[in-house]
Each structure stands twice: as structure tokens, then as C-alpha cells.
Amino acid sequence: MRILILQLLLICLYSSQFFGQLKEANDLFDNFEYREAIKYYNKVDSLSDEEQIKFAYCYFRIHDFLNAEKQFALVVNVEDISPMNYHYYGVCLKNNGKFDQARDWFLKYKELDSLDYFNNLSLSELDFQKSQYGIKERLELTNLGTINSGLSEFCPRYYKNGFMYCDEVKFDEDNKRPHIDYGNDSIDIESLEYGSAERPLAELYFVPITGDMHGQPVLIAEDEHFHIGDFDIDEVNGEIYFTKVDVLNRWNPDARSHPRLFKGKLDTVNKKLVDVQRVKIKKLHNEDGSGHPALTENGLKMYFSSDRPGGEGGSDLYYVEKLPNGNWDAPVNLGPEVNSPGDELFPYLYNDSTLYFSSNGHIGFGELDLFKVIVIDAVAKNREILPRPLNSEADDIGLLISRDNPDEGFVVSNRYHGGYGDDDMFKFSLKLDDSYVKGIVVDQQGSAVANALVKLLDENGKEIEQLRTGEDGTYLFDIDTNKTYRLVATTNGFAGKKDIVTDENWQSEQSIELQLEPTPTAQGFVRMETGSVVKDAEVALYDSDRKLMVITKTDDEGRYQVALDENKSYTIVARIDGFQGEQEVVTDDSWDTNGDTDITLLPTETVQGVITDSLGNPVAGALVKLLDTNGVEVGQVKTDSNGYYIFSVPPGDYELVASTIGLGARKKIAIDENWDGEQFVNMTLLPSDTVQGLVMNEDGTPASNTMITLYDDQGNVLVQSWTDDEGRYQFLLEEDKTYDVVAQKGNLKGNAHIVTDDNWDTTKSTDIKLTDSTFVSGTIYDSDGKPVNGATVKLYDDEGNLIATFTTGADGKYNFVLDKDENYQIVASVDGFDGIANIFTGDNWDGTRSIDIDLQPSGVPADGFVKSKADGKGLDKVKVTLIDNETEQKLVVFTDGEGRFSVPMTPGKKYTLNLEKEGYYPKSIQVNSKDGLGNIDLNRDHDLSMDYAGYAVDKIYFDYNKSSLTKGSKDQLDKLVVKLNENKDARLYIKSYTDCRGPDKYNESLSWKRSKAVKEYLVDKGIAAIRIGTKSMGATNFVNNCYKPEDCTEEEHAVNRRSEFEIKYK
């Protein structure tokens, strides 16, 4: 009996504890203490259906979606539950990356309620969230642990040497919450997020900032009668605009339980707000909920949130303008670019032009997400969602961006991971160890382009990654340091490209704009013969010489798109294992740049065999290449230990080339209807000349997968191949031949000149180092248009220094390796004939273009002597530039130690002769070369003396299509004023120029305006107009070799927009 009584007592005690735990859990749930309620629900072995829903909802409300998913998985199997639980379960699955399962539950709920906006929005969000899942985050967050608590800390705003924010009071002994037994020892009041307060009271605190550190919070304003919610500071009038919510603990006819916009002033001594009054806004009634003010810097415009009637849905964002009497005009809704059927809250204005806000009504990550729009003339444009981690699956409701660095600031969120409870403040900053490239795709009007295809290519044109822009037109890719990339954005018939180099000057935070310009494009589906589309198929673009331009891939819909050039021929090849297809494209006038060029994949054939030596032994590690009829490598492999190789290729004509050091073999094959893929194509290696070596990057590391081309002595492409994974190459050569091996990797190039004569060592390693250089090549022709054999071609730099000499062969061809961003002159001569070409290797320089030179009869030597006007002594190192006024070709020479020089002039031609020397005024002379015998004496008809200036005489420059003077120009002109005032007999001659763009007559007029502007400035400074002469030179006498608009960039053209000065004395 005693045992039975004891058992009954234990059962009663357990039952009492069970029901006690369950009551506390339910009480805590009813008081929104979800974290504490979870502890008590976990202690109960069995929950009713209603309590199971509460348990799941607790996890859901604190955004612990992993545990919420587990509990809702039990809830959704309960009969006759609210269908809303299907939606909650779908949200949990979505936030845990289970997008397909989430879609099923959202659809199940939609069958019961097809009009639920937020469920339909969740369905629409799935593709976006799937695309964002797992993307590397650029920013890192740090919880402000010394400030945050289980309650809400929110709305940080810069103030003086720190920031203010709103904080909630945790305890209120006079207004305790009901239904909680505060005498129960099992309840830890300290652990309750809201303490004993029935409703936590929001107050204002200030935190000082010193460098990267923040101090301790200090209370600066509180009021027991109302909450001080989201606020902004009108620094012009010293007022604070804030969201006021009254505390309804006593009868007050003026009190309201909904938020309203109020303003006041800070009394930091007494820690309260004074002169508190409602903000008077036309047509905004006292019963309308309103709050969350954001002011422009001048305080004349305010953005705020309100649920007033007539909006897009819940709470919308509005703006108002301040009236002269200090009140505000009627609210203007920001429209659907900002507002939605959901809620738009917490506006924050950055630099008066970018409006950030929170919304749960647009496609995002879940609940309230942070967005931004550009505000121009009160019109919101280009809505863009902020990335993770600024956004999360929880509520992200406030932002404060650093005044100095837009990649730093504070964000407010009630996220589960890293949070302390309710709304917490986090500091965000850029992850300094990450490299990325970001930007926006825009059209010709500068508007963001949605759904543009953006590709990140390596220096060889191989795709690394591709994406489609969203509504905001932005893109972002991960990149490595010390690499060269190309960005390509395309839509049908439009493209934008930009090359980037991630060297020590690279800044990931910069935005790279890709502007789409009209460009031929090819696009379409890659399909199997059955018609099914193929995603992730490799798509290679080749030019008419079968040079590989780009390697890309099809997207998830099996589509590809590549940008082309006008009036060119291309081959587009698509491949997957065992299948290949291609299309020929010609971008002539008939090309439809908006149409689809689909590619059908056909089965490929097998080419296989064994490579042996002369004794019949298998050769392991032999390099085997399969070349098409243009010499372009289709594939390369190395033989295995049995000498075996294998290729899979479509039908066509090919050449097999096998080689090792000093050994080689070739065989042509035709893969047609008679081809037997099971038959072996064996080859025997015999002694042969070969060239092999290592291609290295600038830093000496191997340059793998780099294009390397073998040219014959006529400049014809024999083989176009690629280095292997170790950066090595090998070509099979013939005896007594001349070759050039050129390696190219983006802007980096390197070459080796090969002559397989008796001295050639076929076993040596001919290594090639890639450098940031370029090339020039061309043909020397005689007057009949025939190539000139034996012509001497000399390369000079811009200072007249001889760089290199080349003697042409029977084909008349020459080539030089050049530095980038330099001016060069190429002078060709033979037996009384000569010719010249001037080039500039700027950003637009095309090293593949042939620079041909036509030889003409050599001119008559024109001799000159340049002296100092002061003492008559010859001046050495004077730069003498002879410019042909008809062709604009120029020749640069320098005076010798005695001041003498000689240049060739063709009788009957007109030239400009420019003289330049540091510290002297430049001189420009017009020369008409005369017919006659013997040398021309330039000093006989021209004054070649130069006046000493005593300072660096600089040209002045003008903006494009402008004649106004810049500050730098005025500083130079002021020096001239001093010189002219020192010598009243001096006369100044101004010659002004334009760049080569624009019609000749317009350029002459523009250069006249520039000379006029300079003269007027000098006259205003007191120089008599009679002492100043001007001349309009138009687009002539270019400083660099920018003769054609397309040859140079804007920066390169700019040096030609100038005025030059010459002083003459009576």
C-alpha cells in the first residue's frame, strides 16, 4: 500500500509540473516571449495540436527557421489546421534552401487562397532567392554587443561626434504585463526580452565614436508619456523629427495608440524633448498612422511612411515639401517603383539622392528587406535590392551609411543568427581580403538594362562566369588578383565591353559601367537532333582565320549569345561530349542581328591510334595535335604509357601531327561516310626539326592554356595552338625555313624568331616571356604596288632614337615589337626611294592591322642651323619635326652638338617645320620647298633662331569642343604676361589647334575661338592687343599620331587640343 501511495504521489507531482510548465509556456507565448516559451515547451513531453502550432510559431517568430521547419513538419500533418501554416512551412523550407519543396507548399496554400498577396510573392521570390543562395558575401557584420539587448535598438543617426539611436526600456514596475507570475522562481525575469514592462518604452541614446571604436551609450532624451521612435535631425533648424506613440496608461483625450509625426528640440541637460508639437502636413489627418521621417540636408523636403488612405497597399512612402510658413505641403506618394501592396517603412536618405527603405512587398529575401532607389526631381528610379548580409530572411529595417565610405555603416535587423533578441544594430564593413568586380549595364541613354547577359572572360577569351542582370542592371563577379579579364554585356544587337586588370591599383569598390552600343550579335539555342535544348554546352567563336575569339557556354535555357564585328565572317562551334555542331556567320548588310542562329549537335567520330618510334616501340608522352584545314588546333593530347591517343571530332578534313623533341610525324585524314572510328591511325616518329619551350607570364610563372601561333616567313599562319597545363608548347618544323612563334594572352605578348639552318639546335628549350607589349607589321611596296625586297626599315621612337632595323625579304614584309602608349615613326628606304608611317600604340591600337608603306622618290636634303637669338650659338638637342602639310606625315630629328640638322623635302611640297627645346619658346615655320639642284639651305629663307624663355614653356589645353580656359591654362598665361611686361618690344604669336574629330571648317573655327579666348585673357591682363597675333591651325600638326578619330581614346586626342606660343622681338 505504501508503494502504491508513493507512486500516486509521484504521478501527481509529475502531472502538476507538466501542467505548470505548459501554463508558463502558454503565458510566455501570449506575452510574445517566444525565446523563453521555447524552453518551457521543450520540457513538455506531449503537446496538443494547438500547442504544437504555438511551439512551431515560436521558432518562426525568432527566425530560427531550422527548428521551425522541424516543428511545422509536424503541424502540417494535423487535420483541420489553418492553411496559413502551409505558407509558414514553405517559408521555413525556402529560408533553408529547399526551394522545390517550398514551392510545393506555397502552391498547396494557393489552392486554398489564391489571392493571398504574400504567398504569391513568396512563389515569385523563389527563383531570385535560389539565384542568391550561396553567393559569396562582400560585407561582414559585427553585432554591437555592448549596446544591443533582447529588446529593440534601432534607428541610428549621426549626431555630432557619434550617433544617436532609439532604445527600449526593459522594466516598468508600474505597468507590469498580465498573465505572467512574477513570483514564480522558475521564471528568470532577466531573461525575458521585454522584462516586466507591458510595453517597452523607447528612448534616445547617444554613442560617441572615436576612429573605429564606439563608446558607451548615454541617455539624452526620455518621456514617460510617449515612445520616441524613428527620427531624423534637421540640423538647419536644430529640430528633431520623430515618430511619437503615446503611452495609454491614463485617460488623455489627445493621446493616440498609432504612430504620428512630431517634432521637438533636444534638452540634453534635463534629458528630454522640449517644444514637442505635431508636424503640420496638409491633408495628413491626426488619425492617419505616420512616422519614420527622413529629411534632406537643407531640411526643405521630408520622406516618411504612412498608412493614409489612397496608397498602394499597407504603409507607403511619401514625400512633402516645406512651405514658407514652416508647415508642410500635401504628401506625394512615391509610386509603384517604391510602394507595393505590402509595407514600405524606415526611409533613409543618403547624399540627398539615394533613398533606402524597407519593404515586404517586393521580391526579396523574406520579410522586410532593404532596397534603394535613385531620386531625381522627386521621381524614384531603378529600384535595387541590397545584397546579403545587409539583407537576411528576417526583418532588415534600418540603415546608416558612413559619411566617408559607402561600404561602411550600420544596419538594423532582428535576424536569428548573430542577434541578441529583437531588433539589433550591426556594424557592416567591406571584407578587405576579397576581390570582385561590380557595375551596371546601361543603354545609350544611361538607363539600367535588365536581363542583359554579362560574361566574365579570362585573358584568352574563355568564359569564367555569366549572369543575367536584374531590374537594376547590376552585375557582380568574384575575381582573383593580378589577373586580366574582359567584361562583355550583350542584348540582341547591342554590346558593351571593358578590359580590367586586377593589379595593385585595382579597387573592387569602383563600379564598372558597361554601356550597350549597337553591335552585331549572334544568339540562339543549342539543340540535339531531337530538338531538346542543351544547357552548359561549350560554344566557341572563331574568326575567318579560324582564330579562337571566345569560349562561352549556354545558359539554363540552352541559349548562347556572342558579340561580333561588322562585315566579318565567323564560325560558331558548339560541343558536348560525343556531339558537335557549327554555324557559319557573315555580318554583312543582310545579317539579322535580332534573329536566332540555332546550332544542332551531331554525333562525333573517333580518331585513335598509337605513336611509335623508328623501332616500333610505343612512345609515351608524345604530343599529338589534330589540326583543321586552316591549321587551327582542334585538340591536343599526350600519349599514354602504351603510346595511345584518342580524339572525338565531327566529320571533316584534318591533319594529325605528333612530336617529341627532335622527332615528328604528320598524316592527313578525311572523316567522311567511309570513316571507321574503330580503325587505328598509327604514326612513326622520325628525326625532325622541332621548337619547344615554356611560355611564362610577366612574373615568371608558367602561362598555361595560352594561345601560341606558328608563322612562316611570309607571315602566314601555319599552326594555331595552345600551351598545355604546364605552359609548354611544341611545333614540328621543316629544315632551312624561317618562322616566328608568337604567344598571346590578352594584352600580353611574346615571340621567338626561328631559323632552322645548320646552326639550329632542335633539342633546346626556346622559352617565351609574355610582356605588356604590342606589334606592328606591314609590307613595303614600290610605286607599281609590288613588294620591295631588301628595303631597310627603321623604327624610331618619339624622340628620334633608332630602336630597331629590319631588312625585308622577297615578300616586302617587316615587323617590330613595340611598347604600348608610345609614338613611333617607321622609315623605309631603298636605292633612292623612301617612305614613312607614323603610329601611336594607344588603347585603340590594333596590332593585327597591316601598316603598309609606299615608297616614293627620296626628297632633297634640306639643311638647317638652329641657334640662340641671344648669342648666335648653335643649340644642340633641338627637336625638329618636319610635317607634310598634305599627308600630315611627320619626321622627327634632333640637332647635333653644333645645332645642325638635315631633313628630306620633296621639291614643290609645303611643309611645317617645328622647333622645340626645353627652356626656349617653340617656333613654327612654313616651308615651301623649291625645285632645283643640290641641298636646300633652310637658313637662307628662314629665321631658325630661338628665343630663351627662362622657364618651361608649356602648351595650354582645352576640353573637347570647348574654347574656355581652364585654371591650369590661366596659370601658364600669367607667366607669359610677366615676360611680355618685362620686354615691351616682344610680340606674342598664338597658334591654336583641335584634334582630328569634326569637319575641317568647324575645326578651323574652333581653333580661332581658342586663340581668341587666349588673346582676350592677355588683353584683360594689360597686354596691348596690337602685340598679340593669332593663327587658327585647325586639325593639323598633331602632337601624337592621332590622325583618325577611331585610332585614339579621348585622353589621347586631348593632347592635340592646344594653344602654342611663339615670342618674337623687334
Mean pLDDT along residues 49-61: 91
Topology of the domain comprising 141-430: Neuraminidase (2.120.10)
Predicted pLDDT at 191: 54
Write the CB contacts of 912 (distance below 8 Å, at least 6 apart in sequence): 882, 883, 885, 924, 925, 926, 927, 1036, 1037
Write the CB contacts of 987 (distance below 8 Å, at least 6 apart in sequence): 1027, 1028, 1029, 1063, 1064, 1065, 1066
CATH H-level, domain 522-603: superfamily: Carboxypeptidase-like, regulatory domain (2.60.40.1120)
Give the C-alpha separation, 438 to 497, whole Å: 14
Is residue 470 pLDDT above 80, yes or no?
Answer: no
Give the C-alpha separation, 685 to 613, whole Å: 5
Mean pLDDT along residues 623-648: 93
Helices 2-30 & 34-42 angle (0-180, nearest 10): 160
Give the C-alpha separation, 466 to 462, whole Å: 11
Residue 301 near residue 377 (C-beta atoms within 8 A): no
Helix (H, G, I), strand (E, B) or coil at 995: coil
Write the DSSP symbol of residue 437: E
Write the DSSP symbol of residue 502: -
Torsion of CA 745, 750, 753, 754, to 10 degrees: -50
CATH H-level, domain 688-771: superfamily: Carboxypeptidase-like, regulatory domain (2.60.40.1120)
Write the CB contacts of 587 (distance below 8 Å, at least 6 apart in sequence): 520, 564, 565, 566, 567, 568, 569, 570, 593
Instruction: Report the relative pairing of strands 579-586 and 689-696 from DSSP bridges.
Output: unpaired
Give the C-alpha separation, 19 to 25, whole Å: 10
Residue 365 near residue 391 (C-beta atoms within 8 A): yes
Give the C-alpha separation, 326 to 719, whole Å: 79
Cα atoms in the 13 Å half-sphere on the side-chain side of 413: 27
CA distance to 247, 255, 334, 527, 884, per residue, from 287 (Å): 16, 11, 21, 62, 83
Q: What is the pTM of this model?
A: 0.47
Mean pLDDT along residues 971-988: 85
- Looking at domain 954-1066, its CATH class is alpha beta
Greater pLDDT, 960 or 611: 611
Q: How confident is the model at residue 181 (pLDDT cuts 50, 70, 90)?
A: very low
Predicted pLDDT at 173: 46
Stretch among 246-250, 873-877, 884-888 having the lowest mean pLDDT: 246-250
Helix (H, G, I), strand (E, B) or coil at 664: strand
The 3-state secondary structure of 680-742 reads ECCEECEECEEEEEEEECCCCCECCCCEEEEEECCCCEEEEEECCCCCEEEEEECCCCEEEEE
CA 602 to chain CA centroid, nearest Å: 38
Predicted pLDDT at 309: 92
Query: pLDDT tens digits, residue range 544-584?
Result: 766 788 999 998 889 999 999 888 889 999 999 889 999 99
The set of cell numbers assigned to 938 is: 633652310
Selection from 169-173, 466-470, 662-666 with the highest mean pLDDT: 662-666
Long-range CB contacts (< 8 A, 24+ apart) of 667-674? Answer: 669/607, 671/605, 671/607
Give the C-alpha separation, 743 to 771, whole Å: 10
The set of cell numbers assigned to 312 is: 498602394
The set of cell numbers assigned to 73 is: 513538419
Q: Structural domain boundaries of the chain?
A: 1-40, 47-134, 141-430, 436-519, 522-603, 604-684, 688-771, 773-857, 954-1066
Mean pLDDT along residues 696-711: 88
Is residue 317 pLDDT above 70, yes or no?
Answer: yes
Residue 789 near residue 809 (C-beta atoms within 8 A): yes
Residue 89 near residue 73 (C-beta atoms within 8 A): yes
The DSSP line for 926-981 is EEEPPP-SS-EEHHHHS--EE-B-SS----EE--TT--PPPHHHHHHHHHHHHHHH
Residue 254 near residue 267 (C-beta atoms within 8 A): no
- Grid look-up 532582428 returns 414
**What percentage of the chain carries pLDDT values higher than 90?**
44
Side chain identity, residue 514: L
Query: pLDDT tens digits, residue range 992-1014?
Result: 889 888 888 888 888 899 989 98
Greater pLDDT, 822 or 88: 88
Mean pLDDT along residues 431-450: 84
Helices 49-61 & 2-30 angle (0-180, nearest 10): 50
Residue 857 near residue 764 (C-beta atoms within 8 A): no
The set of cell numbers assigned to 822 is: 608610345
Nearest CA among 405, 381, 271, 292 for reference residue 344: 292
What's the angle, vertex CA 290, arms to CA 287 and CA 296, rounded to 5? 145
CA 583 to chain CA centroid, nearest Å: 31
Q: How confident is the model at residue 328 (pLDDT cuts 50, 70, 90)?
A: very high
- Grid look-up 591549321 returns 631
Query: pLDDT tens digits, residue range 519-532?
Result: 999 999 999 999 99
Long-range CB contacts (< 8 A, 24+ apart) of 663-667? Answer: 663/613, 663/619, 663/687, 663/688, 663/690, 664/688, 664/690, 664/732, 665/611, 666/732
CA 153 to chain CA centroid, nearest Å: 36
Residue 240 near residue 265 (C-beta atoms within 8 A): yes
Q: How confident is the model at residue 968 (pLDDT cuts 50, 70, 90)?
A: confident
Residue 465 near residue 477 (C-beta atoms within 8 A): yes
Selection from 1-10, 516-525, 828-837, 987-996 with the highest mean pLDDT: 516-525
Write the DSSP symbol of residue 877: S
Write the CB contacts of 339 (distance below 8 Å, at least 6 apart in sequence): 311, 312, 313, 316, 317, 333, 361
Same-fold call for 436-519 versus 604-684? yes
Mean pLDDT along residues 762-777: 88
What's the angle, vertex CA 861, arms to CA 860 and CA 864, rounded to 5? 140
Predicted pLDDT at 691: 97
Topology of the domain comprising 604-684: Immunoglobulin-like (2.60.40)
Torsion of CA 17, 22, 24, 26, to 10 degrees: -170
Nearest CA among 140, 128, 207, 147 for reference residue 371: 128
Long-range CB contacts (< 8 A, 24+ apart) of 347-351? Answer: 347/292, 347/293, 347/294, 347/303, 347/304, 347/305, 347/317, 348/294, 348/398, 348/399, 348/400, 348/401, 349/294, 349/295, 349/296, 349/303, 350/401, 350/406
Residue 409 near residue 400 (C-beta atoms within 8 A): yes
CA distance to 16, 31, 52, 87, per residue, from 47 (Å): 15, 19, 6, 22
The set of cell numbers assigned to 41 is: 515547451
Helix (H, G, I), strand (E, B) or coil at 743: strand
The set of cell numbers assigned to 812 is: 616586302
Q: How far apart are the first and last CA of the chain?
A: 139
Please provide the average confidence, as pLDDT, over all residues in the chain.
86
- Grid look-up 517644444 returns 275
Pick left, alpha or beta for residue 803 (phi over 0 → left; psi -120 to 50 → alpha; otherwise beta).
Answer: alpha
CATH of domain 47-134: 1.25.40.10
Residue 824 near residue 849 (C-beta atoms within 8 A): no
Query: SS3 breakdown of the chain: % helix, strand, coil, rounded to 5?
Result: 15, 40, 45
Helix (H, G, I), strand (E, B) or coil at 450: coil
- Looking at domain 436-519, its CATH class is mainly beta
Stretch among 3-7, 227-231, 925-929, 941-945 having the lowest mean pLDDT: 3-7
CA distance to 867, 895, 987, 991, per residue, from 872 (Å): 5, 15, 20, 26
CA distance to 83, 518, 555, per residue, from 112 (Å): 7, 49, 35
Q: Candidates 2.60.40.1120, 2.40.110.10, 3.10.180.10, 3.40.50.720; correct CATH number of 773-857? A: 2.60.40.1120
Is residue 444 pLDDT above 80, yes or no?
Answer: yes
Greater pLDDT, 1056 or 105: 105
